Every structure is written in C-alpha cells, then in structure tokens.
Chain A
C-alpha cells in the first residue's frame, strides 16, 4: 500500500517536473508560443500611435510642460478615460482572460507618505523633460531612425541598474 502510494506520489512528482520542463521549453520558444505574436502586434500598434500622434516629439513635450496646447493632455486624458472605462467594465462584469483566468489588476502599494511615488515621480519628470521622451517613445524613436536614442536607452538602463544597486538605502 505504502509502496503504491509513494509510487503514485513519485509519478506525480515526475509528471509535474516534466510539465515544468515542458513549460520552460515552451516559454522560451518561438514567436508563436504564449501568444508572443499578439504582444508584438499590439506593440507595433502602440508604436505607430506614438509617432503619428507626435507623442515622440521633444517639441510636443515642451509644449505640454508650457501648457501651450491641449494636444498632449487630450491624448493622455482620453487614453485614461477609455482605459478606465474598460478596466471598470472588466472588474464589474468579472471578465476573464481568453485562457479563462481571472483578471487581476494589482494596485501599487502605498506606504507611509508614499515617498517613492513623489520622489521617484519628480526624478522621472526631470528626465522626461530633458530627453523629451518617456520609455515608450525612446523605443519608437530608435526604431524610427533617430539612433542617438540608443544612448538615451543605455543611460536609462544604467539608471534602472543604479536604482537596483542603491534601493535598500533609498526611502520608499
């Protein structure tokens, strides 16, 4: 009885290890696995939008920070309204993913006076106005041929790395 039990358990463990190995192979597989093609296409869609709406323009960002035009506010504002309506519908109706899983939107944790949000936010804002591009436009500009943004991307990666290196000493 015990042997059978352990064999079953052993089998079970073996199967799940096989499944894990399969999943790892699967995860690292080609563009068609895990729906990666879908993410690529949504990315293309988003990239075209960033360029054609001129969000990637340093001049548009300056115009926004000088409050001289409604353009950027219209884009970000209407994007928020549409996204918020969609998220509200997903939550209220308990919509599930195509794979049948529950949609979980993890809220950002708030601790103390929220130092990381205002300090990090201000830091990001300083960089955004200097280089005139947030991370999405940096990728779009590189693809579009403004190759100097490779340097901006490298600097941004260095910035993220530096944060990773000193985050234990920063107030959050």
Chain B
C-alpha cells in the first residue's frame, strides 16, 4: 500500500506535464495559444447565446446538442484528439492503420506486410474506432438532428440535382449508397470501388485524412502536404470528370 503510494508520487513528480503546469502558475508570460483559447471560448459562448432556452438543463441540453455543430466548435475539438493521444501514451492519431490491423488479425496470408503483433501495435486503435462507431450511434440516433436534410450550399444542391441526385435527405444519397443502391451500377462503383480505393490509397500514401491532413500537417510534414494535395486532386477528378460520366 505504502509502496504503491510512493510509486504514484514518484510518477507524478517525474512527469514534466505536471511540472510544467506548476511552472505556468508562476506568472510567466502567456503562451500564444492563450489567444486562440480565448477566441475559441468567446465563439463558444456566443454560440450558446444564439440558442434560446437554457442549454444546461435536461431536455434543452439534448435539443441543443442535436443541432448541427458549427465548424468552429467541431474543428478545434477534433484537433484536441491529437494531443490527447500523444500525452496519454504517445500514440499518433490515424484511423486508416486499423484497416491494416484488421488484415493482420483476420487474413494476413503469407504477406510480410501483415506479419506483426497487431494486438501490441494496434489494439488501442481498434478500440478507438469501435468507440468511433459508438460515437456514430450516439450522434445519429441519440442526438439525431431535427432537420432531415443537411444544409449544404444551394449551388451544390443544384449541381447534384443536375446529376440526377434528387433525394438529398440524410447523410448519403439513398438511391446510390444503400443496400438497394448496390444493385445499380453507379451505386456499386461508389461503395465498392470507392471503398477499395480508400483502403488501397490510404496505405499507399501512409495515412488518410486523420493521419496526413490532421496529424501530419499538425507536425508540419512536407510528405503530408503532398498527400493532402493528392487527396484533393483525386477528389476533383471524381467530382468533375467521373461522377458526370457514371451518374
């Protein structure tokens, strides 16, 4: 008992996280990030005030959270995932590695690329994406938005109607990306070919939107900038050349 307590004290004492927090309180000059934090908090308070009712009570809170969240709330919170993982146990934020872990766990075959201890390397990340799925359930079922249609820009809506996507309710075009949609050529291409390219491309590039665009650019990596430019080049080709062709 005594030993355990001693160990705890030692860990806390040796961790510069705690020490640096302690040092901060000595009244040293504020880091530039304070400016950003103040801006964020101000925007958040404004966001709270823009909604009527008292968002801190029961049903009103759920109603409040069920509204779509503006980018300046969601974006910074997503950004915080990176330091949370780094400071907890030095893990780097990246979702697509899980596709490799799934291969290593289920169908490694004799491929050297999948011969590693996936539990050791990636169990934390698999648990993370299971959490993402649970979060998806909470976001879409518990905190379901009262609006059936996402408020995309009128120009996009018009352009998509021009391509024959008339039903714009929900998160995905139901005529194409659904079990019935798989029976249509375009739907099959979008789900199966699209999914395949996501899996192939993310491993080829060494990361996806989370690993390259967020983690990678946050670390100011040139490789990630090139990859993100590639993401956009590919996306533009599909949007302006391929979709008009197949839809």
Residue positions of A touching B, CB distance < 8 A: 27-28, 31, 34-36, 38-66, 68-72, 74-87, 89-90, 93-110, 114, 116-136, 138-149, 151-165, 167, 170
| Residue numbers in A under 8 Å from B194 (CB-CB) | 126-132, 152, 155
* Centre residue among B120, B130, B218 by max chain A CB count within 10 A: B218
| Residue numbers in B under 8 Å from A70 (CB-CB) | 71
List residues 59-111 of chain B with CB under 8 A from any CB of chain A. 65, 68-69, 71-93, 95-96, 98-100, 102-103, 107, 109, 111
Shortest CB-to-CB span from B45 to chain A, Å, is: 17
Alpha-carbon distance between A156 and B102 when the two chains are bound, in angstroms = 10
Shortest CB-to-CB span from A150 to chain B, Å, is: 10
B230 in contact with A139 (CB, 8 Å): no
A98 in contact with B191 (CB, 8 Å): no
B155 at the interface (CB under 8 A from A): yes
B75 in contact with A78 (CB, 8 Å): yes
List residues 135-176 of chain B with CB under 8 A from any CB of chain A. 135-141, 143, 145, 150, 152-153, 155-157, 159-160, 168, 171-173
A48 in contact with B139 (CB, 8 Å): yes
| Residue numbers in B under 8 Å from A153 (CB-CB) | 195
A156 in contact with B209 (CB, 8 Å): no
B239 at the interface (CB under 8 A from A): yes
In-complex Cβ contact of B150 among A54, A118, A141 (8 A): A54
B83 in contact with A83 (CB, 8 Å): yes
B136 in contact with A141 (CB, 8 Å): yes
B41 at the interface (CB under 8 A from A): no
A108 in contact with B156 (CB, 8 Å): no
A141 in contact with B74 (CB, 8 Å): no
- Can you list 11 A-B contacts (CB < 8 A)? A39-B131, A55-B74, A110-B222, A117-B205, A120-B205, A121-B229, A123-B200, A124-B201, A127-B197, A130-B194, A156-B195
| Residue numbers in B under 8 Å from A55 (CB-CB) | 74
Shortest CB-to-CB span from B63 to chain A, Å, is: 13
B120 in contact with A126 (CB, 8 Å): no
Alpha-carbon distance between A80 and B209 when the two chains are bound, in angstroms = 11
Also in contact, A38 and B88, with CB within 8 A (given A87-B83, A155-B199): yes
Alpha-carbon distance between A145 and B140 when the two chains are bound, in angstroms = 8
B156 in contact with A63 (CB, 8 Å): yes
List residues 184-229 of chain B with CB under 8 A from any CB of chain A. 189-210, 212-224, 226-229
| Residue numbers in B under 8 Å from A142 (CB-CB) | 133, 136
Residue of B nearest to A98 (CB): B88
| Residue numbers in B under 8 Å from A34 (CB-CB) | 89, 123-124
A76 in contact with B227 (CB, 8 Å): no
In-complex Cβ contact of A59 among B141, B152, B189, B216 (8 A): B152
Residue of A nearest to B226 (CB): A117
Residue of A nearest to B124 (CB): A39
B5 at the interface (CB under 8 A from A): no
| Residue numbers in A under 8 Å from B90 (CB-CB) | 97, 101-104
| Residue numbers in B under 8 Å from A170 (CB-CB) | 204
A43 in contact with B127 (CB, 8 Å): yes
Also in contact, A59 and B74, with CB within 8 A (given A44-B131, A135-B96): no
| Residue numbers in A under 8 Å from B96 (CB-CB) | 134-135, 160
Residue of A nearest to B69 (CB): A52
Shortest CB-to-CB span from B40 to chain A, Å, is: 8
In-complex Cβ contact of B74 among A49, A80, A90, A121 (8 A): A49
A83 in contact with B182 (CB, 8 Å): no
In-complex Cβ contact of B192 among A105, A140, A155, A160 (8 A): A155
Also in contact, A159 and B197, with CB within 8 A (given A44-B138, A46-B81, A117-B223): yes
